[in-house]
Structure formats: C-alpha cells, structure tokens
Structure 1
Amino acid sequence: MRIAFFAPHKPIDHPLPSGDLIIGKTLHDFLKAQGHELLIASKFRLRHITNKPYKWPALYFEFKRTLKRVQQFKPDLWLTYHSYYKSPDLLGPYISEKLGIPYVIYQGVFATKYRRNYKTWPGYMANKHGLLHADHVFANKQKDFHNLARIVLSEKLSRTYAGIEPDKFSYCPQGAEEIRIKNKLNGRKVILSAAMLREDVKAKSITDLINAFAPLAAESPDAALLIAGDGEARLRLEKLAAEKAGDSIIFLGQVRREDLYKYYSAADIFAYPGINEALGMVYLEAQCAGLPIVAYSTQGPNEAVLPGKTGLLSQEGDIAALTENLNRLLDNDKLRGQMSKAGPKHVKDTFDLNKNLQEVEQKLISISSRRY
C-alpha cells in the first residue's frame, strides 16, 4: 500500500517524548517495516488551531502544499493518527475526498461534553466532521470505543489496543545488577516511577507519589524511590522530595526508552498515580518486566492494569491509599511474586504490539482494496 500519514496533534519526529508520540511513531514504523510506502503528508501542527485564527492563513497554504504533495505520491489511502477536539484533522477529510481515496483515523476520540463550551465547540465540530467522513476509525481505549459508537457505524469502527514489543522489556538480571550497583541499591526495596516532569498533571502525579512514599521512608530506611524523567518541574520536585524523604528518593534524569528495561528489572514495584493518564505505556513496560503496579484507578491505569492481579489501584487523590498499597506490596513477598508472574502474561495476551498492529494492517489492506 501507499499511505499518506498525518499526525495533527504532534508530528512523529517531535523532540519531546510522550506516550502518544511513541504510539504514533510505532504505527508509522511498523507499516513501513511491513513493506508499505508511507508519506508524511504534513508536519503542520493543528493543536488548538480552531482557537488560533492568526494561524488560519498558514493552514490554507499548507492545505494547498499538502494536496499537491499527496497528489504526486498517489496514495491508496490517507491514515490520520490521533484526531480529537484539541487537534482536529482539517486536512485529511478534504484531501481524501478530492483524491477519491479512503480516509482512516487511528486513535479517534469523541466526547460530547466539548460541544457545551464555546471555546471547545469549534474543535469539537471539526473533529466530529472528520469522524463522520472517515471510512474507518480505530479506537484503542474502551472509553473512546464506547463514545465513538454513538456516531460511527459499527462496520466502520474497530476496537484495537496499543502495545509494546514484550521482548524489549523482559526482566534482565544483568541489567538489574548493573543499575543496583550503579545506584547503591543492593539490599534495598526499590520503587520505580517514570514520567515527564512537566508542570501539569505529570508533576501532580509525582507530587502525590512523593507524599505517599514519605511515611514509608520514615518507617523503612531500606526503601528507595527512583524517579526517571526530566522537565521544568524537576528542581521543585527534588526540593520537595528532599524535604519529605531525604536521600531515599533518587532522581535519575531522562532515561532512554531503550535502557528503561534495566531500571524496571532493578526495581520491585512500579508506581505512578496516573492523573488524567490516557493509557500510559510505562504501565505496560513495567508489567512486562514483572513489576506490580501501584496507581490511581483513573482511565489509563484501568486500561493497562488488572486490578488485584497485576497491580493495586486506588481512588484518585487518596494519598493514604497510595501509601497503603505501596506498603502492602513491599511487605508481602508472596503477593508481589504472584503479580510479577501475572504481569508479563497480561501484556503478551492483550498488548503485544506486533499482533495488534498486524490486525490493523489487514484492515487497512481491506479498506484500500475498496478504493473508490
């Protein structure tokens, strides 16, 4: 297939890492590795475009350039990754119609609450237009699938799953030893967390985790919390951590994703509250390495974790419950061991990337064969 690929929210070569970016780039790279020809139709970022009229002239000229670029490429279909009210696809539906090719959205999102606010209504309507004109929509979250089913015909809607390559995050004893020696962790119970340290819900999640860990640090000097990630909130969080738990909390800075498996392997528990988390690839990676999860019972953790089987989830904002769940897993070797065995199986059964993307690929091939 020849595929025109577009990510309106954030180009897949954007320098700032995120879970959404990983999913989009993985989809693109998988299809390319399967022998399909892909064209990045545009790198124009449409985030909040409906509320930025000063960018509309630039969007008009980008539309013209993209139309010409895609015409020359002669694709079999247009594939948009992640369209929603903040970043509606204002190129794909119109260019696909002009060229007479199928229009497909992977990770479509729809929520009627955004039609009630005049600030979000334009983005809501633009996104709805794209969804209604799509030949097929993939939803990789149950909540999105349920909402999309209200406006997308069942034959045009598929529930799929994000995922990881399990072999890349399997437990590695050599990696575990390397990290434990490097950070002087031998003989200690290690809790690992990983997040971008932005001044938003990411920093709020880490703040809650620090506050939840503080009582454990006072009672169990052999417990350590490692935090992987960097961002503008790091200095503030380091100060808070020092005040609450002294040197029991270690900030690792940004860790390359390809090296994270060593840190997962060196830990006993993975903890990240996950406020407003969409899915959270780190939950999948950690479970694959055999780590029990401690998080809030918000959308992302609920999608990725089997409560009571591969992790312990608690109500958002309940710091005491976070502390209790961390303490329960630290003290209960048997429970930790059971979850350690269940985690990798859960990921392989539901979130095996190659298996899930092969299903997406077959659907795309079927759709492209029905080209107008």
Structure 2
Amino acid sequence: MRIAFYSPNKPLGHPDPSGDQTIAQGLVEALHGAGYACREMSRFRARWFWREKGGWSRAVQGVVEALRQSRIWRPHLWLTYHTYYKAPDVIGPWLSRLLGIPYVLVQPMYGTKRRRRAETRPGFYLNRWALLGAHLAVINNRNDLAALERVVPLNRLAYVAPGIFPEMFVRCEAARRTVRAHWGFAAHDPVLLAVARFRPGVKRKSLHFLFHALARIGDNPKPWRLVVVGDGPLEAEMHRTAARRLGRRVVFVGRVARRELHAYYSAGDLFVFPGIRESLGMVYLEAQACGLPVVALREGGVDQVVWDGLTGILIPRRDPGAYAEAVRNLLQDEARRRFLGLKGVRYVEWYRNLHRQVRYLAGLLESLV
C-alpha cells in the first residue's frame, strides 16, 4: 500500500523540533517498518498561512505540487497528521477527492470557539472542512474526543494510543557513568532531569513552575543537581531564572539529538517536568522507557502517558509545595524510585509501544483501501 503523507503544522524535516514533529516522524518510520510505502507529498507549512503576505498563493502552489507528485506516484490513501485551526489541511481534502482515494486524519483537533474571532475564523472553517471530508479520524488523545464528536460521526472515529520505539530509549549504565563523569557528578549524587524546548507559552510556564518548586527542597535530604536538556528562544531567560532560584544546582546542556537522549535519561534518577497544559508529552514516555520515574502535574493528557502511582507521581493541582514534596519523597526513597522505574520500562514496552500501535492503525487503513 502506498500512503501519501502530509503534516500541515510542521514538515517532517523542519529544523525546529517539537513533540508533534516527533510523533509524525515516528508514525512514518513505523509505517515504513510495517512494510508500507509512505511519502511526504508536500512541505507547505499551513500554520497561520492566511495571515501572511502571499500565503494563499503558497497554499495553491502546495496543492498543485502535491497533485503533480500524486499523479506520478499514484497513492492508495491520503494520510494527514495533525490538522487544527492554526494549521488546517488545505491539500488532503482536495487531492483525495481528485484521486478518488480514502482520506484519513491522524490527531486532528476541533474547537468551536475558534470561529468567534476574525483571526482564527479562516483556520476554523478550513479545518472543519477537512474533518467533514475525512473517511477516518484517528485520535491519540482521549481529551479530543468530545469536541470531534460534534463534527465527525462516531463510526469514523478511532483511538490509537500514543507510543514510541522502546528500543530507542534503553537505559545504559555505561552511558550513565560517562555523562555523569563529564558533569563532575559522583556516582550516587541524586540527579533530576528535565527535557524541554525554551519557548513562550506553556513550556515557559512549566519551567518557571519547576524552578520555583525545586527551590523549596534545598539540600533535603542531600545535595542534588538538576540537569536541563533543550534550547529555544527563551534560553537566556531560563538561565537567569534558574540561577536566581537554584544557583549552582542547575546545569544546562543545550539541545541533544533525539538518538542520543537515552544517555542523558540514563544519567538521571528522576524525571521532573510539570507539563502545564501538556497535550501528551513524548518526553515522559522516553524517560519511563529508560527507567526514570516521573513527577508531573495531572493536566492535559499527561495521565495518558504516565501511570500515576505505578510509573510516576502526578500532582492534582498546580501547587509548587506539593510538587516539591513529591520530589523530596522520591529522593529519600531509592527503593520506590527503582520500583517505579522498572514499571515504567514495562509500561512503555507493553502499552505505549509504537510498533504495536501502528499495527492496529495499519489494519484500519487496510480496511479503508
């Protein structure tokens, strides 16, 4: 089966990484691994295109180029990943009809309040048009279901749990020793790890919350260090805030290639990222696959990728004191950290394994074709 692929929010090769891009790349890789030919048909980035000079012209060019490629390659199915009001799919609905092939959306989103503002109204109606034309809409976040039911019939909706490739994130003791030695940490120094992009919005709020909460711990029960992996436009602000709150306890290591992240997860003892309004958070699955217990907030879709009480601790409200207490308790209890870490590895392998999820998705696509 040949699958035409399109990601309107961010092309597969976009230089600015994000969780959505990671999911899209994993989806394509998994489909290839399952024996399907999957080709990106357009790199047109639809995000807010109607607000930009020449945006509509570029959209038309994207449609024409994708049509040219499609007529040569002759796909059996069109699959668009993540359409929503900021980045609606303006290519797939047209081309799937012209080519006479099924049109599938993976991780679409819908919110009726977006039609109220002039700024978001074009994106709302374009996204609605895509949803109305879909033969199948596949969600990976249960929180999106209620809104989508307003526009997509139930018999065209399916749920496939989020997942990662567990083999990419395996705990490595040799890497742990190497990375910790590079930082000058002793073998038994407690190390907290966070992985995030330093960008405005919820990531910024989460990092500020984290620094504020950890400042309450002090050296109780013993001296610990925080390692932050990531970069972004707010890097200078994050450095200043962390230095003011945590002093020399925090180390920033910059951006790390995803294929190398397992070494940094392996060097840590506890994964700490609050996840304010986090849609899902692939970093939580990556950390658990490497045996790191998680401390996060019970917000957004975090509880769909962290098993509260079994692979980590989810704080029910934005309470820095409660967050700090959870971290402190796990720093004091090495046996519980080890138990949560082992359960996290098994949780990802059995319930959030992308190989398994894509086999189920492939069955749905085969039935449409």
User: What amino acid sits opposite 1:351 in the alignment?
Assistant: R
Equivalence for 1:269: 270
1:241-290 C-alpha deviation (Å, 9 max, x unpaired) = 22222211111111121121122122111000112221111100111112
Aligned Cα root-mean-square deviation (Å): 1.7
**Kept after mapping to 1: 8 A contact 2:221/2:331:** no
Equivalence for 1:251: 252
Structure 1's unaligned 5+ residue stretches are none
CA drift at 1:222: 1.6
| TM-score, normalised via structure 2 length | 0.94
CA distance in 2, matches of 1:19, 1:126: 24
CA distance in 2, matches of 1:115, 1:363: 32
The SS at the match of 1:299 is coil
Q: Does 1:5 align with 2:18?
A: no
User: What amino acid sits opposite 1:243 in the alignment?
Assistant: R
CA distance in 1, matches of 2:228, 2:93: 42
**How many residues are aligned here?**
368
Matching of residues 219-258 of structure 1 within 5 Å: 219-220=220-221, 222-258=223-259
CA distance in 1, matches of 2:151, 2:71: 30
The SS at the match of 1:17 is coil
Equivalence for 1:143: 143
CA distance in 1, matches of 2:279, 2:263: 25
Equivalence for 1:108: 108
Equivalence for 2:218: 217
The SS at the match of 1:151 is coil
Equivalence for 2:73: 73
Q: Does 1:353 align with 2:317?
A: no
CA distance in 2, matches of 1:109, 1:59: 20
Q: Does 1:48 align with 2:48?
A: yes
CA distance in 2, matches of 1:291, 1:65: 45
CA distance in 1, matches of 2:53, 2:272: 41
1:73-108 C-alpha deviation (Å, 9 max, x unpaired) = 211111111111111101111111111111111111
CA distance in 2, matches of 1:66, 1:259: 34
The SS at the match of 2:301 is helix
Q: 1:33 to 1:309 in 2, by over 3 A?
A: closer
CA drift at 1:133: 0.8
User: What amino acid sits opposite 1:348 in the alignment?
Assistant: E
CA distance in 1, matches of 2:149, 2:32: 30
User: What amino acid sits opposite 2:212 in the alignment?
Assistant: N
Q: 1:348 to 1:150 in 2, by over 3 A?
A: farther
**Kept after mapping to 2: 8 A contact 1:131/1:137:** yes
CA drift at 1:218: 4.6
Q: 1:167 to 1:40 in 2, by over 3 A?
A: closer
Equivalence for 1:293: 294
Identity of aligned residues (%): 36
Matching of residues 28-67 of structure 1 within 5 Å: 28-52=28-52, 54-67=54-67
CA drift at 1:66: 2.1
CA drift at 1:17: 1.1
User: What amino acid sits opposite 1:366 in the alignment?
Assistant: S
Equivalence for 2:331: 330
Q: 1:53 to 1:135 in 2, by over 3 A?
A: farther
Deviates more, 1:135-144 or 1:165-174: 165-174
**Kept after mapping to 2: 8 A contact 1:275/1:316:** no
Deviates more, 1:115-124 or 1:176-185: 115-124
Equivalence for 2:261: 260
Q: 1:264 to 1:55 in 2, by over 3 A?
A: same
**Kept after mapping to 1: 8 A contact 2:221/2:328:** no
1:15-41 C-alpha deviation (Å, 9 max, x unpaired) = 111111111111112222333333321
The SS at the match of 1:83 is coil
Q: Does 1:157 align with 2:177?
A: no
Structure 2's unaligned 5+ residue stretches are none
CA drift at 1:232: 2.1
Deviates more, 1:227-236 or 1:330-339: 330-339
CA distance in 2, matches of 1:53, 1:97: 28
CA drift at 1:316: 4.9
User: What amino acid sits opposite 1:263 in the alignment?
Assistant: Y
CA distance in 1, matches of 2:17, 2:61: 29
CA drift at 1:315: 4.2
User: What amino acid sits opposite 1:132 in the alignment?
Assistant: L
User: What amino acid sits opposite 2:251 in the alignment?
Assistant: I
**Kept after mapping to 1: 8 A contact 2:209/2:274:** yes
